[in-house]
Amino acid sequence: MSHTTGLFKYIPIPREHKPDIYSIDYKKMKKWGITTILFDYDFTVTVWKEKKITNKTLELFERLLDDGFKVAIVTNAKKERAIHIEERTKGKVRVFSNMKKPGIKKLKDVLNILNSQNSKTMMIGDLFITDVFAGNKLGLYTILINPYTYQIDSKFKKFMANFSKFVYFIFFYTIGWFFRLMDLAVPNEFKDNIFGIDYDHLKKTNHKLIIFDFDNTLVAWHSKNLNSKSKDLFAKLKGMGFEILIATNGRDSRFDSVKSEISEFDIKIQTLSLKPFNFKLKKKVKLLGYKPRECVLIGDQLFTDITAGNSSGFYTIKVNPISKKEGKWTKFIRNFEKLSIKMMRKKPTLFKGEDEI
């Protein structure tokens, strides 16, 4: 399955934007079935035009290799600039040079040489117009990082790094922001309802906290009582070792009866969550002691629930609304959801081994 479809193939918006290569959640990528990581060279793994990498970067490569990833450098520079990486890793990290990004012909050859699938490959680089653009055209999972400036002395190199960031800033806040918002509304999975979700696999992939929306996810809109089937699901999830949080934009006064119903399951409720904003949700998850990659958010709305979950770094699952009865604003937003679903590029889902398929 290609991560990038339709118009997104021609828009250099990354799937994620991180400060540097060390800030990326590689364990999450492993869960999502990524097997190959392609790094740009200049300003990505080292300073521009340098012929050395730090021990910290080398240790990262070794850790990724130990975790089972295929790792390679794909650079537009000549091979002699980056060949030292092959030497220091004893050939385990291969260097492919003169790639002519954003062209994709040579990148296709690299994937064939590595025996890697497009949908299971991640491209990491500092230039949106070359690295991200090329990755998107091939349907890779693209991550843009800020230019590598550690221990940089040259004023000219600092200028070039800042200029690269400035150009992306201009692009993002004129054209790119719309496509970024579209991306934030894309769930990892679509399911009919909360009962059709593979909770066993969520458990096997080390997820610990299940976050449910309330209205039209657990109950019909503005209902104040849970049905027996939902309670049975809660009992099952608690028995599996999950912690459960209900995150709703509703007011606290609505949930007096619900709180008494779920007290036996030790389920927490966060009211006035202010989704799609994520600051209250992230604070609550941090207080509960969980990392974002350990959390799953399940909801019926793309532009509130799923957007809040994705911007928090959670695994997200979109379910169909329980009933057609909704507020006027929600009905209006549903029209944009239909348009968004037609345009969106798919996200990776949790990797399943052969014994689980």
Domain count, the chain: 2
Q: Read off the tokens for 172.
A: 């993002």
The per-residue pLDDT of the chain, averaged, comes to 90
Strand partners, 244: 210
- Among residues 71, 1, 53, 64, the alpha carbon closest in space to that of 27 is found at 64
305, 323 contact by CB (below 8 A): no
Do residues 159 and 197 share a domain? Answer: no
Q: Does 63 fall in a domain?
A: yes
Q: Which residues of 225-235 are buried (b: 16+ CB within 10 A; e: fewer)?
A: ebeeebeebbe
On the question of pLDDT at 355 being above 50, the answer is no
Residue 166: the pLDDT is 85
Span 147-197, pLDDT tens digits? 987 766 777 777 777 788 888 888 887 877 888 888 889 999 999 999 999
On the question of pLDDT at 326 being above 90, the answer is no
CATH code where residue 114 lies: 3.40.50.1000
Domain boundary among 141, 160, 184: 184
Do residues 169 and 280 share a domain? Answer: no
Range of the domain at 76: 6-184
Residue 341: the pLDDT is 74
Q: Tell me what the mean pLDDT of segment 322-327 comes to.
A: 81
Do residues 295 and 170 share a domain? Answer: no
Do residues 132 and 211 share a domain? Answer: no
- Among residues 326, 325, 292, the alpha carbon closest in space to that of 308 is found at 292
Span 217-262, pLDDT tens digits? 999 887 878 889 999 999 999 999 999 999 999 888 888 888 888 8
Q: First and final CA of the chain: distance in angstroms?
A: 16
Do residues 105 and 201 share a domain? Answer: no
Domain boundary among 184, 213, 236: 184
Instruction: Name the more confident of 285 and 355.
Output: 285
| Segment holding 233, helix H or strand E | helix 228-239
Query: From CA 182, how far away is CA 202, in angstroms rounded?
Result: 25
Do residues 215 and 347 share a domain? Answer: yes
